[in-house]
Amino acid sequence: MLDIAFIREFPDLVKAGAKKKHIQVDVDRLLDVDRQRRTLITEIEQLRAERNRKSKAVSSLPSGERETLLAETRVITEQLRRNEMALAPLEEEFEHLMLQVPNVPAPDVPDGLTDADNVEVRRWGEPPTFSFTPRDHVQLGEALDLIDIKRAVKIAGTRTYYLKNEAALLELAVLRFTLDHMIRRGFTPMLVPHLVKDEAMIGTAYFPGGEEQAYRIEKDALNLIGTAEVPLTAYHYDEILNEAELPKRYVGMSACYRREAGTYGRDTRGIFRIHQFHKVEQVIISVADEQVSIAEHEAILHNAEEVLQALQLPYRVVNVCGGDLGAPQVKKYDIETWMPSRNAYGETHSASRFYDFQARRLKLRYRDRQGRVHYAHTLNNTVIASPRILIPILEIYQQEDGSVIVPEVLRSYMGGTERISRKGK
């Protein structure tokens, strides 16, 4: 969340940020509630101090004066009770409104409403051309006995799948290759909890607002994660780190689960938009310095680009517009990888910076060399997500005879397999 002191000082900036993100929030009501609660808090503190002063004086007074003072103390206690009762709903509303206020987007975030308004930053690689009619990943998957969607739908419903044979190994290969790449970049590898408490979801700003996308286990008050970002960023929940420890660089590999609420009819064919998938996610916890965060943002984006370049997959980077940005981000880059069946680039990665927005919710702080305590800055980026990344791999590396070449950097992870062919050939 934002610092309330910042909202008080720059309400118009906060309003403009929410407008750019197309998020409705009543900043004026928040400031009005804030004024009321602060007034009541001041009165409560004064009443408590006065009650304590009178209570201490009672024992030293003659009996007649003592009764008078006790009567005054009872009046103060009653007023204190009324004020505390009036404060409780204000505090509740204040917390609710604070969680609704989005982060202020960076000045270079473009205007726009949807991903169609995102602005291209650069491209790498050339989309392939084929001397034959190419198949899409579903056709390839079925012909090579790699993907079985029909049986998955029978036992698990829509947006589900089985990966079989070389496809199962291919997914494990691309995940492990990516994880190894990040370890070489100095990141600490972690396997994370897939079920988390509401505190972690609120702390990373997936709640409130993202409840419809989460699978929730009501009986246990736990939520299945949609990304390893949640448990990785919340790893130091309610801790005070030392500045010398920063930055923390974590990379988590996990299964992820999303309901995809509101996407009915979108990307229903194949394995593009599904309920269960795997990701390798990088998270950075850094000092509270905007220039450092900007540099780290570019660095984590570069880490993901290196993976795609190693896989020889053409892609483009886009600067995400305000309406597509989301509440917590200051700025976000998406990487879109070329998918021949779509004849377009499809989103495969996101890289976000938040400044101290998540850290305030998570009470994630650090102590600097002068002993002062600050909220940390956080960043994250999807280094790879599968099986979505299998779409461009299968489609771009397909051959006229229906086989698929395995990207060279993945072959050692697949026992030296160079080509996926029809069974029996």
- What residues are labeled active site? 258, 273, 347, 350, 388
For residue 404, the SS3 value is strand
C-beta separation of 44 from 80 below 8 A = yes
- Phi and psi for 393 in degrees, rounded to 5? -60, -50
Residue 234: closest CA among 197, 209, 186, 208: 197
- Phi and psi for 345 in degrees, rounded to 5? -85, 135
**Burial of 214 per CB tally in 10 Å (0-12, 13-18, 19+):** buried
C-beta separation of 411 from 418 below 8 A = yes
DSSP assignment, residue 398? Answer: B
Contacts of 81 (CB under 8 A, 6+ apart): none
Alpha helices (runs of H) in 101-195, residue ranges in sequence order = 137-143, 149-156, 165-184
Q: Where are the beta strands (DSSP E) in 258-375?
A: 276-286, 315-319, 331-339, 344-355, 365-367, 373-375
| Spatial distance between the Cα atoms of 346 and 316, rounded to a whole number of angstroms | 9
Residue 231: closest CA among 179, 279, 283: 283
Residue 331: closest CA among 38, 6, 21, 66: 21
Dihedral sign, Cα of residue 199, residue 201, residue 204, residue 206: negative
